Structure 1
Amino acid sequence: MGYPKDLLSSRSIIKHGLYALIAPEGLVNNVVPGFENCIISILGSPKLGASFVDYIITMQDGGKNAEGFGGQADVETFVYVIEGKVKAKADEQEFELKDSGYLYCPPGTTMYLENIAEGDSRVFLYKQKYRPLEGKKPWVYSSHSNDIEYRDYDDMHNVHIKDLLPTDIDFDMNFHILSFDPAACHPFIETHVQEHGAYLLSGEGMYNLDNEWIPVKKGDYIFMGPYVQQAGYAVGREPLTYVYSKDCNRDAELK
């Protein structure tokens, strides 16, 4: 980076437990045991107020996690390849994940990742504790989002969504891709119990977080806590598109 060229400033906004906008220019590298030749930044985490952990990782030449990620009896994991090519393994199964490729590993299954691109690969990585349901059990699942057709979101022809994981009740979470055509927006400002961690894949827009309108763009990360008002609309010439997690298929628990 070198010396600053202007006054120090940041677009990032942190409201612990409520929401966060984390801009890429402010990220620092974190050392996460098991990852080799990887530039890792931890995004959402319990320290921010999330019940999950999100990472953005640049896997350089020889980048890998040969020791494995996840694997604990109560932890599920998910990886989405933003760009590049990654070899992933789970339960003796091997997957080649190119741009838009992803892999879900259920509790007790270890995920192994290795960069096999000629250059860098960039991935969005996730983990959280699984909420079990009697008689139900999720399974290893992999695909490429580019192979999944969009469907209209809430009957609006200019907002589109994809489900990346099965909607079976065995799963206590899902990942989606939501895309707004230029000038498109949510049908209303949402207020709900679910929380999200979202990584912006393309475009620019304005996002309502806790009733504050905030400019966002490609490369930003957004954490949205439970019951925080949220909605967005796209501006500019290309769609505003992001991949995001959502907890689902479970009742609210009493403490």
Structure 2
Amino acid sequence: MSSYATPPGGLPPQTQLTTNRARFTEAYAVLPRGTMTDIVTSALPHWEGTRLWVVARPMTGFAETFSQYVVEVAPGGGSDRPELERRAEAVLLVVGGALTLTLDGRVHELVAGGYAWLPPGAAWTLRNGGPEVATFHWVRKAYEAVDGIEVPEAFVTHESHVEAVEMPGTEGAWRTQRFVDPADVRHDMHVNIVTFEPGGAIPFPETHVMEHGLYVLEGKAVYLLNEDWVEVEAGDFMWLRAFCPQACYAGGPGRFRYLLYKDVNRHARLW
């Protein structure tokens, strides 16, 4: 049974200590769940009954390819004009409540674990017709069109329908649910769910050109970020620029899962 962390909102009491795990460095940032309070939410044009936490946005000299929001939609809220950027592609992952996605005239009911990839220029709306607040992740990227390569078609699925593929030699301790075929060069970003069983690890410091956003959906672990081992838990967000070394050890007691963004399949831009 999957579980999905959501921001706590609210405000801490005046008696709470200020010191916590929040970090912003030249190589990475950590936004602990406790930083996602009411006073850092934002609103969007043409959205009703909605607030969001912006956990990543393009920043020159840091991570430049994507933005990521955690969005709360109240009953009756949503938008008929959700995206204003014609070049923007998107992934939506519902982590609480239920939402109605209307995509190119077709209606899809998304519950926790529901996933959609939306191409640039897609005609879509999103509404909460239920009695409870709904929460979803919204990952946005400017799609990099390539002459002779067609834009992929939209799709809607649920994480339970996507096989978790074990990494070689891990005997299932480290698995990845890939929502698009890694060999499909039409896609220029991957947004996957990564799972570690207790004791599972990334046993070497991955160091690569892809930027990352990692939102912890479940469990806890220690994560190597550049030169620092940082303890993270459900509801935390990690934001990594290109070439930031990273590794992981999931000590348990339960499994550790996160939503992972990375940019792929395109030439490096030359200015």
Q: Same fold (TM over 0.5)?
A: yes
1:151 and 1:20 map into 2 onto residues whose CA distance is: 28
> Match for 1:161 among 157, 160, 176?
176
Partner residue in 2 for 1:213: 229
1:65 aligns with 2:79: yes
| Equivalent residues of 1:10, 1:26 under 8 A apart | no
> Match for 1:127 among 122, 140, 149?
140
Partner residue in 2 for 1:40: 52
TM-score when scaled to structure 1? Answer: 0.93
Q: How far has the Cα of 1:112 moved from its partner?
A: 1.7
Q: One-letter code of the match for 1:42? A: V
Secondary structure at the aligned position of 2:86 is classed as coil
TM-score when scaled to structure 2? Answer: 0.88
After superposition, residues 138-153 of structure 1 pair within 5 angstroms as 138-153=152-167
Secondary structure at the aligned position of 2:160 is classed as helix
| Equivalent residues of 2:197, 2:252 under 8 A apart | no
| Equivalent residues of 1:69, 1:110 under 8 A apart | no
Q: Which consecutive residues of structure 2, in runs of 5 or more, have no partner in the other structure?
A: 1-10
Q: How far has the Cα of 1:3 moved from its partner?
A: 4.4
Q: How far has the Cα of 1:115 moved from its partner?
A: 1.7
1:206 and 1:64 map into 2 onto residues whose CA distance is: 36
Aligned-pair identity (%): 26
1:227 and 1:126 map into 2 onto residues whose CA distance is: 21
CA RMSD of aligned residues (A): 1.7
1:2 and 1:212 map into 2 onto residues whose CA distance is: 27
Q: Which consecutive residues of structure 1, in runs of 5 or more, have no partner in the other structure?
A: none
Aligned residues: 253
Secondary structure at the aligned position of 2:130 is classed as coil
Partner residue in 2 for 1:113: 126
Please give the per-residue CA displacement for 1:36-65, whole angstroms capped at 9, x wherever unaligned. 112211001124832211001122222212
Q: One-letter code of the match for 1:160? A: R
Please give the per-residue CA displacement for 1:54-89, whole angstroms capped at 9, x wherever unaligned. 00112222221222225x332111110112211112
Q: How far has the Cα of 1:251 moved from its partner?
A: 2.3
Partner residue in 2 for 1:80: 93
Q: How far has the Cα of 1:155 moved from its partner?
A: 3.0
Please give the per-residue CA displacement for 1:90-118, whole angstroms capped at 9, x wherever unaligned. 22232111111111111111432112333
1:145 and 1:4 map into 2 onto residues whose CA distance is: 40
| Equivalent residues of 1:154, 1:187 under 8 A apart | no
Secondary structure at the aligned position of 2:215 is classed as strand
1:23 aligns with 2:32: yes
1:121 and 1:61 map into 2 onto residues whose CA distance is: 8
2:119 and 2:231 map into 1 onto residues whose CA distance is: 35
Q: How far has the Cα of 1:245 moved from its partner?
A: 1.2
Ranges of 4+ aligned residues in structure 1 off by more than 4 Å: none
Please give the per-residue CA displacement for 1:178-218, whole angstroms capped at 9, x wherever unaligned. 10111110131100000111111100000111121000000
After superposition, residues 42-57 of structure 1 pair within 5 angstroms as 42-47=54-59, 49-50=62-63, 51-57=65-71
Partner residue in 2 for 1:12: 22
Partner residue in 2 for 1:199: 215
1:65 and 1:154 map into 2 onto residues whose CA distance is: 43
| Equivalent residues of 1:181, 1:239 under 8 A apart | yes
